[in-house]
Every structure is written in structure tokens, then in C-alpha cells.
Amino acid sequence: MNKDREAEILKTVDDSIRMEMKTFSEYLQKKGLKITNQRMLVAERIFSLHNHFTAESLLEEFKDQRDKISKATIYRILSIMVEAKLLQEHNFGQDYKYYEHIIGHTHHDHIICGDCGRIVEFMDERIEQLQEQAAASNGFKITGHSLNIYGTCLDPNCPNKK
């Protein structure tokens, strides 16, 4: 993929994610990594997703495309994007990891419905501050945290409600 092709992809891309795509390709260049078709296609797909996804579900998105992308490449791109801080990795207690893109998203925590798997985001500044305090009073400097609330959603319209 050359500069023209990159420009072409950036042009066809939805307005809402053009900035994200640009950030990613700039990151690649800065790191001396190549701007490949696969990387652009996967990034485009990721930035278009508005849900948390897994390596598997992402791969699934390319199943019926003429542009097949291998599982190995998916994992390799995920790892670059996490490194680039464009993507955040989550562990919701299952055996596989979840991801979500974080460009332009502010920090938040998650509530996961044990019935339907729905993931809701929330953020409480008071909790954040109490965490800072807890870490400090135990002699730690925080580098990150993960707060997952597991529960049952009371939504009667929940699609997977048992």
C-alpha cells in the first residue's frame, strides 16, 4: 500500500473516524511500521464498532469479505493498537479478552449483565478519587485500574432475558 492508496482509504472512510484513522497511520509511520491494506481495513472496522469486541468477533467481521484477514494478523494488529493506546484491552472474567477503541473516549468502568452479556459503561469521579486514596494510603502509585460490576439488567426488553 502506498501513500495514494492510504489517501484513498482515508477519503472513503466515514467522516466520524477519519481522525482516528489518521492517528493510527501516523503512529505506524512514526514507529517505522508499514501502512498495509490489512492494518487500514482492520483499523477502519474497529473504529466503526461502537461495542466491545473480541479477536474472534472482529475476525468474524471479515468472514464474508473478499478481503480475508488471517487470525494471526488480527492478533498482531490488536497488539499494535493496544501499544499505540488506541485500543484498550479488558478482562471481563471470561477466557478471552475484550477490546474497545478509546480515541476520544474518556475513561470509564463497566457493568456486565450476566444474563445477556450487555456491557454498560459508567464513570463516577468519586470512585476514581477514592481509588487514588486507597492506593496512596497503601503506598502505591496507580498506573491503571479495572472496575467491573457484574449484575443482572432489569430491562424487561433485554434481548437475552431469561
- Local structure of 60: helix, strand or coil: helix
What are the b/e assignments for 118-134, b being 16+ CB within 10 Å? bbeeeeeeeeeeeeeee
129 binds DNA (CB under 7 A): no
Answer yes or no whether residue 150 interacts with a second copy by CB under 8 A: yes
Q: Is 37 among the residues that bind DNA (CB under 7 A)?
A: yes
Q: What is the smallest separation between the CB atom of 92 and a second copy, expressed in angstroms?
A: 8
CB of 138 to a second copy, least distance (A): 5
Q: CB nearer to DNA: give 51 or 138.
A: 51
Question: Looking at 70, 146, 152, 160, which residue binds DNA (CB under 7 A)?
Answer: 70
Q: What is the CA radius of gyration of the chain?
A: 18
When asked if residue 37 is in the footprint of a second copy (CB under 8 A), the reply is: no
Query: What DSSP character marks residue 95?
Result: S
Q: Which stretch binds a second copy (CB under 8 A): 11-19, 44-52, 67-75, 152-160?
A: 152-160
Rounded to a whole number, what is the distance in angstroms from the first to the last CA of the chain? Answer: 48
CA atoms within 13 A on the CB side of 3: 1
**Which amino acid, one-letter code, is at 106?**
T
93 is an interface residue for a second copy by CB under 8 A: yes
Distance between CA 64 and CA 155 in Å, rounded?
33
Report the residue from 29, 68, 142, 161 that binds a second copy according to the rule CB under 8 A: 142
The verdict on 3 binding DNA (CB under 7 A) reads yes
Q: Does 140 bind a second copy (CB under 8 A)?
A: yes
Q: How far is the CB of 90 from DNA (least distance, A)?
A: 10
User: Residue 47: exposed, middle, or buried by beta-carbon count in 10 A (0-12, 13-18, 19+)?
Assistant: buried
Interface residue list for a second copy (CB under 8 A): 91, 93, 109, 111, 113-114, 120, 122, 124, 126-127, 130-131, 133-135, 138-155
